[in-house]
């Protein structure tokens, strides 16, 4: 299965769940509304042709001037096809998305990192605590408005 | 001189207590087994046959802080690691000495960021600072030489 076939398959089976598909520079890219995230992720994993069974990374991008402010980005790998896909979910400041740990259990720590660094909440996450910074740290250091040298206590 | 000469004939040497204690302490510095970052690798190499820290009696890296009297802080110290380092330092019995090994332990080094301690000396007293990124094993030997000179000048009057 090549990249174009992945996009064709998504458009054929799940076009109502997506807000747009495109051919990224390195892999197919899908933008999904946060209401349909879990349904779409379950489709990616359970569809027999696609079989995206390994979550490689969860991260986020901060666009300070944009509303909604963040994109949560999921990189998923299909062991069967040897192909990757990127899923972006726009989410506002102070808001959150549904946790995908119910689809891939391995997303637990990746989501904790995004929560720690960007302050994006993950609903129904089994153990949403900071993972890198100390527990009483008040800020989210990968946001663009956080100074590199930190904030004096 | 007459008394001392007679004592020497009996196999007794007279000296002052400071000198004996300092001689014993400086020749048996027991560092704690403790590493933080890449500087720790240089510290391990210092123990190996080529550099042989054992020549100066400092090869007995102890696994427990209660048996160590030298804390080498080798590498980048993050804010999250700081409570553990302070706890280990406090568990070491007196007299104890600290070497800040490498730029990060001295000043935070290149990591002028929110998560890195900008110098361990903000939290515990440091006896010898050794710059370098990382410092060579020879540097650690130099630091130990400097520390030995420092211990030699100590006195029971101002430090137990």
DSSP A24-50: -SSSEEEEE-GGGHHHHHHHHHH-TTT
Q: Which residues of B17-51 are buried (b: 16+ CB within 10 A; e: fewer)?
A: eeeebbeebbeebebbebbbbebbebbeebbeeeb
The nearest CA of chain A is from the CA of B115 a distance in Å of 8
Interface contact B115, partner A, CB < 8 A: yes
For residue A134, give the nearest of B79, B112, B113 by CB distance. B79
Residue A111, judged by CB atoms within 10 A of its CB (0-12, 13-18, 19+), counts as buried
Helix axes B17-26, B137-152, angle to 10 degrees: 170
- Grade residue B154 by pLDDT with cuts at 50, 70 and 90: confident
Contacts of A140 in chain B (CB under 8 A): none
* Cβ atoms B28, B54 nearer than 8 A: no
The answer to whether the CB atoms of A134 and B112 lie below 8 A apart is no
The answer to whether the CB atoms of B114 and A150 lie below 8 A apart is yes
> Where do we find the tokens 């070491």?
B92
Q: Please give the DSSP secondary-structure letter assigned to residue B13.
A: -
| Structural domains of chain A in order of their starting residue, each with its CATH number | 3-96 (3.30.460.80)
Cα–Cα dist B97/A88, whole Å: 53
Interface contact B114, partner A, CB < 8 A: yes
**Per-residue pLDDT for B160 more than 60?**
no
Interface contact B122, partner A, CB < 8 A: no
* Cβ atoms A68, A95 nearer than 8 A: yes
Q: Please give the DSSP secondary-structure letter assigned to residue B49.
A: T
Interface contact A131, partner B, CB < 8 A: no
Q: State the pLDDT at residue B159.
A: 62
Q: What is the pairing mode between strands A83-91 and A70-78?
A: antiparallel
Cα–Cα dist B51/B29, whole Å: 16
- In this prediction, residues B140-144 reach a mean pLDDT of 93
**Per-residue pLDDT for B2 more than 80?**
no
B41: nearest Cα among B76, B74, B78, B84 = B74
DSSP E strand boundaries for chain B: 70-74, 97-101, 128-130
Q: State the pLDDT at residue A58.
A: 94
Interface contact B55, partner A, CB < 8 A: no
For residue B112, give the nearest of A134, A146, A149 by CB distance. A149
Task: Write down the pTM of the prediction.
Answer: 0.79
Cα–Cα dist A111/A57, whole Å: 9
Assess whether the previous peptide bond of B146 is cis (omega < 30° from 0).
no
Q: Which residues have C-beta within 8 Å of that of residue B37, sequence separation ≥ 6?
A: B74, B75, B76, B102, B104
Torsion angle, CA of A72/A78/A83/A87, rounded to 10 degrees? -20
Residue in chain A closest to B79 (alpha carbons) equals A134
Interface contact A147, partner B, CB < 8 A: yes
Q: Which of B77, B78, B80, B107 to mutate to test the interface with A (most CBs of A within 10 A)?
A: B80
Regions in chain A scoring below 50 on pLDDT: none
In this predicted model, what pLDDT tens digit does every residue of B65-90 receive, in sequence order? 999 999 999 989 998 899 999 999 99
Residue in chain A closest to B108 (alpha carbons) equals A149
Q: Please give the DSSP secondary-structure letter assigned to residue B124.
A: S
Asked whether this complex has an ipTM greater than 0.90, the answer is no
- In this prediction, residues B15-44 reach a mean pLDDT of 90
In this predicted model, what pLDDT tens digit does every residue of A126-152 receive, in sequence order? 999 999 988 888 889 999 999 888 877
């Amino acid at each position: 299965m090549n990249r174009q076939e992945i996009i064709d398959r998504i458009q054929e089976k799940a076009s109502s769940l997506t807000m747009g598909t495109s051919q990224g520079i390195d892999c197919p890219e899908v933008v999904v509304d946060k209401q349909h995230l879990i349904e779409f992720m379950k489709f990616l994993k359970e569809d027999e042709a696609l079989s995206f069974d390994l979550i490689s990374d969860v991260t986020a991008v901060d666009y300070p001037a944009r509303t909604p402010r963040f994109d949560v980005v999921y990189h998923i790998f299909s062991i069967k096809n040897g192909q990757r896909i990127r899923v972006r979910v726009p989410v506002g400041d102070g808001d959150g998305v549904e946790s995908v740990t119910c689809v891939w259990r391995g997303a637990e720590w990746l989501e904790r990192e995004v929560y720690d660094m960007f302050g994006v909440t993950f609903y129904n996450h089994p153990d949403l605590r900071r993972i890198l910074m100390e527990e009483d740290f008040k800020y989210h250091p990968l946001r663009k408005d956080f100074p590199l040298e930190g904030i004096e206590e | 001189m007459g008394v001392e000469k007679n004592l020497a004939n009996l196999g007794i040497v007279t000296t002052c207590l400071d000198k004996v204690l300092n001689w014993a302490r400086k020749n048996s510095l027991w560092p704690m087994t403790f590493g933080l970052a890449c500087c720790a690798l240089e510290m391990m190499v210092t123990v190996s046959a080529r550099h042989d820290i054992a020549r100066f009696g400092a090869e007995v890296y102890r696994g427990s802080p209660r048996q160590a009297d030298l804390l080498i802080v080798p590498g980048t110290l993050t804010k999250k690691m700081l409570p553990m380092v302070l706890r280990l330092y406090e568990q070491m019995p007196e007299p104890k000495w600290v070497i800040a090994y490498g730029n990060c332990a001295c000043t935070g080094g290149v990591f002028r960021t929110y998560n890195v301690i900008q110098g361990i000396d903000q939290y515990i007293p440091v006896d010898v600072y050794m710059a370098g990124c990382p410092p060579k094993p020879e540097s650690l030997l130099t630091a130990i030489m400097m520390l030995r000179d420092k211990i030699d000048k100590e006195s029971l009057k101002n430090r137990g």
